[in-house]
A = this chain, B = another copy of it.
Amino acid sequence: LLGSYEDRLAPGCSQVQLGFRYESRDQRFTIYVMQLSNCSALCLPADQKMYLRVAVLPCMEATRCLFRTRGSLPQDLVEFNEVFGMQISHSALRQKTLRVDVCNNSKSGHEECVAGAQISLADVSCSEDRCTKWYNLLSRAYMPDIKSKDKE
């Protein structure tokens, strides 16, 4: 009962598929940005390219921690299949948080990010296997929602 009611209301969220691997021998963390599903839920302009911005935060000055995929027009399923890597010790990595945001460039040239996922790397394991998962994207438009509720 509850299911059918909520299912009708929920428009279905957009998701991003990511993979991770940490190789302890080389102290190398690899991020696989695979695909983005249900783009229409993000209400992006159809004629404008979007891309994923990937950041390992907090960022150390000495290391590159910010990456962007190539741009792509929004479609139901967008395949990226891009790989980003950084050198970092396992103990430092486990204190990091990964942010993945869906962004585009506004007409004024500013980067605008409409939705994102945030993933704690506290339990990234030292394994040669790539661990792949789909993550829900949360629209940035929902964040002010919390604030308006505070005033009630």
Q: Interface residues, chain A, CB within 8 Å of chain B?
A: 2-4, 6-7, 9-10, 12-13, 15, 27, 53, 55, 57-60, 66, 87-92, 94-97, 99, 111, 116-123, 133-139, 142, 145-147, 149-150
Q: How far is the CB of A131 from chain B (nearest CB, A)?
A: 12
Q: Are B95's CB and A122's CB within 8 A?
A: no
Known: A10-B95, A116-B118. 6 other contacts (CB 8 A): A2-B27, A3-B90, A7-B89, A53-B146, A55-B146, A97-B136
* Count of chain copies: 2
Q: How far is the CB of A145 from chain B (nearest CB, A)?
A: 6
Residues of chain B with a CB closer than 8 A to A3's CB: 27, 89-92
Give the distance in Å from the alpha carbon of A60 to the alpha carbon of B145 in the complex: 11
- Known contacts A142-B59, A145-B57: A92-B10 contact under CB 8 Å: yes
What's the dominant secondary structure at chain A's contact region?
Answer: mixed
A7's partner among B2, B91, B120, B134 (CB-CB below 8 A) is: B91
Give the distance in Å from the alpha carbon of A145 to the alpha carbon of B53 in the complex: 13
Q: Are A118's CB and B117's CB within 8 A?
A: yes
